[in-house]
Structure 1
Amino acid sequence: MSNPDLDSLVPQWLTLPDLADRLGVEFSRVRALVRDRAVIGVKRGERTVFQVPEAFVVPAEGGGEQVLPSLRGTVLVLGDQGLPDAEIIEWLFTPEPTLDGTPVEALRGGRRAAVRRAAQALA
């Protein structure tokens, strides 16, 4: 089942095989990233395929791509407050006045502490 709110907030999605290709790793490594909460996603589309927002992938030092390093800690903070993954993604992609943009943009810009403060303020 597709979440229309997320579809309007998140412009691009990646399936797990696509994520593995982008990161240049084995599929099992991507499954471990999901299990360890380093990256989150939702089942969406007609076939309810598990997908992650493409914005969670960033350039890696030395070339290639990686999962946004500050994502896991933020996901854990929000998860500890009882938010399910779909709501975490919604929060990350919804403009936050205290951040002058969306939390995911702030994370991608290196503003981890400000994002975590905003996340903790939700409690």
Structure 2
Amino acid sequence: MTDSVPADQASGAAPAGPTDPAAWLTLPDVAERLELSISKVHQMIRDRELIAVRRDGVRQIPVDLVANKTALKHLPGVLNLLADAGYDDEAALRWLYEPDDTLSGGTAAATLGGDHAREVKRRAQALGF
């Protein structure tokens, strides 16, 4: 019997850290997935509907924040609450992906796509106080 090797280790890529998303999309990939122009994706980032950070010199968006043909429903509200609490994009990303066993998804980002998204919004709102 052989042990399977995770795809990221087999390719030589570093595995995701505790605060890193498992996969990323470039902005053109997001535009294609959402069937929007690249300028509309840039506008969504400026409007805090999506979060993009530089990885290897390229602006990228965590793949799990783009659900199917839309951004996660509650993501813009959470991003605005985090910005109001003084979080920059990198800090907001760390907060979204920080492991938390008290959330049903294990992280705020994973929980945003489920039935307990309001709890994530409540916690983000509490950061401002």
Instruction: Please report the TM-score for the alignment, with normalisation by the length of structure 2.
Output: 0.79
User: How far apart are 1:120 and its partner, in Å?
Assistant: 2.5
- 2:107 matches 1:102: yes
Identical-residue share of aligned pairs (%): 38
Q: Which structure shows the bigger proportion of residues in helix conformation?
A: 1
Q: 1:95 to 1:8 in 2, by over 3 A?
A: closer
Greater Rg over alpha carbons, structure? 2
State whether residues 107 and 115 of structure 1, in contact with CA within 8 Å, keep that contact through their aligned partners in structure 2: yes
For residues 104 and 77 of structure 1, what CA distance do their matches in structure 2 show? Answer: 14
Are the counterparts in 2 of residues 6 and 89 from structure 1 also a CA contact under 8 Å?
no
Root-mean-square deviation over aligned CA pairs:
2.1
Please report how far the alpha carbon of residue 9 of structure 1 lies from its aligned counterpart in structure 2 after TM superposition. Answer: 1.8
Shift of 1:121: 3.1
Secondary structure of residue in 2 paired with 1:72: helix
Query: Structure 1 residue 111: deviation in Å?
Result: 2.1
1:23 corresponds to which of 23, 34, 57: 34
Deviates more, 1:30-39 or 1:105-114: 105-114
Q: 1:86 aligns with which of 84, 90, 99?
A: 90
Give the gaps of 5 or more residues in structure 2: 1-15
Shift of 1:55: 0.8
Could you say what secondary structure the match of 2:102 adopts? Answer: helix
Equivalent pairs counted in the alignment come to 113
Dislocated runs of 4+, deviation >3 Å? 5-8
TM-score, normalised on structure 1? Answer: 0.82
Structure 1 unpaired stretches of 5+: 60-64
Equivalent residue, structure 2, for 1:115: 120
- The offset of 1:115, in angstroms, is 0.3
2:61 aligned counterpart, secondary structure: strand
Judge conservation of contact 2:18–2:99 (CA < 8 Å) in 1: no
